[in-house]
């Protein structure tokens, strides 16, 4: 008889079982004001230094991780568009 293991926290993600299935955090929904500021900053520079990221995150009420991932995704999308011509 298999015993159900309680969910454990691994790398900030809730694990349901040992088979690697995870409950993800819900997708971040950015406000139009946040998107406007992020896009404006991206046009100035595609890469943020740590202090810049921290400042921008604080200004917009986001976490540094959310800002970092937004910039990563934006760079990826930008490169894909540029590659297509």
Strand pairing partners for 15?
Answer: 8, 22
* pLDDT score, position 21: 72
User: Global pTM?
Assistant: 0.72
By CB atoms closer than 10 A (0-12, 13-18, 19+), residue 49 is: exposed
| C-alpha separations of 7 from 15, 17, 20, 27, 55 in Å | 5, 7, 11, 21, 35
Averaged in consecutive runs of 10 residues, what is the pLDDT profile of the chain (85 residues)? 54 59 86 98 97 98 98 97 91
* pLDDT score, position 45: 97
Using the Cα atoms of residue 36, residue 39, residue 42 and residue 47 in order, give the sign of their dihedral.
positive
* pLDDT score, position 50: 97
* pLDDT score, position 11: 55
Token duo for residue 76:
């990826």
* pLDDT score, position 70: 98
List domains and CATH numbers for the chain: 32-84 (1.10.10.60)
* pLDDT score, position 6: 56
């Amino acid at each position: 008889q298999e015993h159900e293991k309680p969910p454990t926290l691994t790398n900030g993600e809730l694990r349901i079982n040992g088979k690697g299935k995870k409950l993800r955090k819900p997708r971040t929904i950015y406000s139009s004001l946040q998107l406007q500021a992020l896009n404006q900053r991206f046009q100035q520079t595609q890469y943020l230094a740590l202090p810049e990221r921290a400042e921008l995150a604080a200004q917009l009420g986001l976490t540094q991780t959310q800002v970092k991932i937004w910039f990563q995704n934006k760079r990826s999308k930008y490169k894909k568009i540029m590659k297509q011509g």
